[in-house]
Amino acid sequence: MASSDERDDLVTVVALGPPTLSQADADDGALATEARQLLAQRTFPEPAELVKLGRFRITERMGHGGMGVVYAAHDDELDRDIAIKLLRPDLAPDLSGRERLLREAQAIAKLSHPNIVHVYEVGTEGERVFMAMELIRGQTLRQFCAGKPWQAIVDVFMAAGEGLAAAHAAGVVHRDFKPDNVIVDERGRPRVVDFGLARAPAGAALPDHVDTDQHAAMLATATSPHSERPLDLTGTGTVLGTPAYMAPEQFARADPDARTDQFAFGVSLFEMLYSRRPFPGSTYTELVGSILKGMKVEAEAGPLGVPRKVRQIVLRALARDPEGRFASMDELLLALRKARAPRQRRALAWAGVAAL
């Protein structure tokens, strides 16, 4: 548990409790795996034998995250394969909470954009809210960007950003944007998924924290995406997010807005361009301290030769104060397009010369 000084300095606290992975990492891989399974069972309760949910027939469990469990299913009435997300019951433990969660899920279902996963239907199963959505076969944005030149990375991020901008125009904030919450389909089209739904009630005490990463008990070291350290997980947290991608205002419990998503977009783009995250810290306390103080690592051209104009755009999106960021995702995307365009025009000009 953080000291009182750390609480004052870092605003938020992680509630510690067994089982943890720090002990598991000290032993063997089997013990670490068992610890993760115990954490998943404790934090993501689900029906023991879920085979039918309304008219949807469950075919397989695809995975789980901070929001709940995801299944592949088949819609027997419309004869199509879909994905079902069954949200965690503790996100809305009472009737008013479920009604609020249902309303927010319905708002997400109204979004229609080629770069946002399409939600077909929202409903309830007992005391739990579920979302039926299109089933996308592909890879995460993180996987897609591996080994790509900076131009391809910026291009796919701009497409994903168009989805975020469309959501913002409809009054929807994602709250948990990161490379693992964008799926790139087999044709190279990115789709933003996993819009965050959980918010703590106004005036509540500082919350426990739940990391929505797929391996929820692990926090990747900020300066190296491939090096991971343990992060204890609470089972009763009311704030969802992934610490490395959360804006300072999220730790301070301020209501997130479009600029909050912009910050997460900037962290994600920085990470894919430089193969490291912008804020240093190998523990939760160090990481949050870096984010709250705006202590970013140096960003030079790097091995991909990222242009200075692109670096400046990304760093502006990472401003500690929301007022220092772009006014909107549309403005950020316009800046990226302008930074990208000169090189594209030069490439076209050279192609024209070569054709003569």
Condensed to tens digits (0 to 9), the pLDDT of residues 243-277 reads: 999 999 998 888 889 999 999 999 999 999 999 99
CATH architecture of 1-20+137-349: Orthogonal Bundle (1.10)
Q: Count CB atoms within 10 A of the CB of residue 276.
A: 19
Predicted confidence at residue 66, as pLDDT, reads: 66
- Residue 355 pLDDT more than 60? no
Distances, alpha carbon 151 to alpha carbons 13, 245, 304, 307, 332, in Å: 39, 22, 9, 10, 16
Model confidence at 222, pLDDT cuts 50, 70, 90, reads very low
Q: Count CB atoms within 10 A of the CB of residue 315.
A: 14
What's the predicted TM-score (pTM) here?
0.74
- Residue 23 pLDDT more than 80? no
- Residue 175 pLDDT more than 50? yes
Model confidence at 11, pLDDT cuts 50, 70, 90, reads very low
The enclosing H or E element of 316 equals: helix 308-317
Cβ partners under 8 Å of residue 190, min gap 6: 115, 141, 144, 156, 159, 160, 163, 182, 183, 184
Condensed to tens digits (0 to 9), the pLDDT of residues 127-152 reads: 788 889 999 989 999 999 999 999 99
Predicted confidence at residue 94, as pLDDT, reads: 73
Mean pLDDT of the chain: 75
Predicted confidence at residue 50, as pLDDT, reads: 66
Predicted confidence at residue 32, as pLDDT, reads: 42
Q: How far apart are CA 122 and CA 326, in angstroms?
A: 33
Q: Between these two residues, 216 and 305, which has the higher pLDDT value?
A: 305
Predicted confidence at residue 197, as pLDDT, reads: 66
First-to-last C-alpha distance (Å) of the chain: 69
User: How does strand 138-140 pair with strand 128-134?
Assistant: unpaired
H helices present in 170-296, as ranges: 248-251, 258-274, 284-293
Domain range annotation of the chain = 1-20+137-349, 44-135
Question: Has 75 been annotated as catalytic?
Answer: no
Tokens of 24: 């598991």
Catalytically annotated residue among 28, 76, 176, 261 = 176
CATH architecture of 44-135: 2-Layer Sandwich (3.30)
Kindly report which listed range (92-96, 142-146, 153-157, 323-327) carries the lowest average pLDDT score: 92-96
**DSSP 3-state of 85:** strand
